[in-house]
Amino acid sequence: MKLVVGLGNPGAKYDGTRHNIGFLVLDELAVRLQAARPRSAFSGLAAEATLGDQRILLLRPQTFMNRSGASVLGAKDFYKVDIAEVLVVCDDFNIPLEKLRFRSKGSAGGQKGLSDIIRCLGSEDVPRLRVGIGPPPPAWDPADFVLGKFTRQEQAVVAEIVVRAAEAVEDWIGQGTAHCMNKYN
């Protein structure tokens, strides 16, 4: 079993915001993998899927971004998933829009959902796919920026990067983090 976690905030108020790009990637993956209908589990929405002979759990924590860790820990422990088999998909405003960056471990880099996951799992050795959402404009509060919606001009680019990120997650499922770091970074 591999656990793929898409980070975001629940509720219509946050649909289409930069912070919810992890949810968008999981939505695309669910379609591509013909995932089962999501069910409430682990303080989130969980859907099982397969890719080849690999079982996958797609998890969208519904605890709000900054409290994602308990949801991830619950699913990880229930399915006895090794930390190397967990992939967190999240936004990053330090990466330009259209860019992806895989990491096998490291600090949260200011991403509070990832920070809570690291805290709850007790390790920085959590593979992650950071999806670039671009930098905040000058004089913008970063919190306001990530909770803002993509502009009309950005939406076409976002649609493309969501598809590319879903493809990258499929590569991660089959080939692992090192392969994806070489291919996508």
Listing DSSP states for 13-64 in one string gives GGTTBGGGHHHHHHHHHHHHTTPPPPEEETTEEEEEEEETTEEEEEEEE-S-
Phi/psi of residue 135, nearest 5 degrees: -80, 155
Phi/psi of residue 35, nearest 5 degrees: -65, 155
Residue 179 bears catalytic tag: no
Residue 71 Cα to chain centre, angstroms? 13
Question: Which member of 2, 18, 19, 112 is catalytic?
Answer: 19
Strand pairing class (128-132; 2-6): unpaired
Token output for 37 = 């209908």
Give the long-range contacts of residues 154-158, CB within 8 A, separation 24 or more. 154/97, 157/97, 157/98, 158/21, 158/24, 158/97
Contact criterion met (CB below 8 Å) for 29 and 35: yes
Catalytic positions, written as ranges: 19
